[in-house]
Amino acid sequence: MASVIVDKYYISETFDENRNVSFTFKKAKEEVSGHFANFIDAVNEFINVSEKSENVTHVWFHRDGKFRGSVNLEKAKIIANRVVEDKVENKDAIAYIEKENLVDKPAPKTAKSQKAEKMEEKAKLDLPKIVFGIEKIYAQAIFDAILAERASKRLATHKVKSRGEVSGTGKKPWAQKHTGNARAGSLRSPIFVGGGRAFGPTTERNYELKINKKARKNALFSALTMLANANSVLVREYQLETISTRALLVELNKDNLINLNNVLIVSSDEKVFRSARNLPNVHTTKVTSLSIEELVAADVLVISEADIKYLEGMAK
């Protein structure tokens, strides 16, 4: 079956220095072929060109630099008659045909976001409610888990020297008695300039915060449920032949994830890990190392069926 060729034309408003309106007529990907002082003249020009053309024709109307609708030849004739009958002024012509629904427009989008629709299309199986659909969201557990995760990453890198570590003599500075001074046994004491610090910070300090296993489990499943409620869970396993950032970008582009700010991929494949190192908006982790903070921050979670089954085992 032969394909239908459609010729696309444009009628657009233009203004001069005195804000007088006129209309340009042009074919797509070509230079402007006509300037018309009246809107009806531009429409008639499209009608004349269309009647001589062997292809299907459509004209797109633009006002204030925005698309206002399009029509075919038959509807263009209806527009020409209505504009003349109602004596529509040039400055209101395109607004008039838009208001009277004389032009065709794309169907309005539903309440669901485009990302949510694509996530639903890509998901190949129903997410288990025990993991991605718990009845209560434990906000406090999420908060506590994030604090515990951050604390566990904190290193005790700050330190001062004690009296046993500063340099200096070990000789008693003066006699114990009969000097009029307070007794002193070492110049390395904290009371002297250059002496050691008393009770200063050391590298032995531990900043970790305790969180109960049940609380962390509630936080994990709460974060996963929030992602599922936002239709931001994609059941997919990326498999790359070689370590290649380009190859991973191609896979992400297939799922329309390439422009998201924070993509979290759950995988055990070293090729995926190393391919994502140069992508600032892509983070990788193993299912055994899921971070509550990364889950909360993620725009989309990419996880395989095998890893979902592992999470189901944790929930039981």
131 and 161 together in one domain: no
281 and 311 together in one domain: yes
Rounded mean pLDDT of 59-85?
87
Least confident of 82-91, 185-194, 260-269: 82-91
When pLDDT is cut at 50, 70 and 90, the band that residue 118 belongs to is low
Q: Give every strand in the sheet of 263-266, ordered side by side.
A: 233-235, 300-303, 263-266, 282-285
Rounded mean pLDDT of 265-282?
94
132 within domain boundaries? yes
Least confident of 46-60, 149-163, 219-233: 46-60
113 within domain boundaries? no
91 and 228 together in one domain: no
Instruction: List the domain range (segments joined by +) for residue 192.
Output: 156-169+183-206
141 and 252 together in one domain: yes
175 within domain boundaries? no
190 and 201 together in one domain: yes
150 and 160 together in one domain: no
Q: What is the pLDDT, as a whole number, of residue 286?
A: 96
245 within domain boundaries? yes
Rounded to two decimals, what is the model's pTM?
0.57
The set of residues, in sequence order, having a beta carbon less than 8 Å from that of 114 and lying 6+ positions away, is none
214 and 200 together in one domain: no
253 and 149 together in one domain: yes
Has residue 75 got a pLDDT over 70?
yes
Last residue of a domain, one of 72, 100, 128: 100
176 within domain boundaries? no
Least confident of 62-71, 74-83, 132-141, 227-236: 62-71
Q: Tokens 């006129």, residue? A: 22
Rounded mean pLDDT of 109-128?
56
pLDDT tens-digit profile of 130-151? 999 999 999 999 999 999 999 9
Looking at per-residue pLDDT, the higher value among 63 and 108 belongs to 63
303 within domain boundaries? yes
SS3 (DSSP) at 266 = strand
pLDDT tens-digit profile of 166-225? 999 889 999 999 999 999 999 999 999 999 999 999 999 999 999 999 999 999 999 999
Q: What is the pLDDT, as a whole number, of residue 17?
A: 76
260 and 145 together in one domain: yes
Q: What is the pLDDT, as a whole number, of residue 65?
A: 76
106 within domain boundaries? no
257 and 229 together in one domain: yes
CA distances (Å), 190 to each of 8, 129, 133, 172, 203, in order? Answer: 87, 61, 59, 15, 20
Q: What is the pLDDT, as a whole number, of residue 111?
A: 45
178 within domain boundaries? no
When pLDDT is cut at 50, 70 and 90, the band that residue 7 belongs to is confident
299 and 232 together in one domain: yes
137 and 232 together in one domain: yes
Q: How many domains does the chain have?
A: 3
Q: What is the pLDDT, as a whole number, of residue 52?
A: 87
The average confidence (pLDDT) of the chain is 88
Look up the CATH number of the domain holding residue 132. Answer: 3.40.1370.10
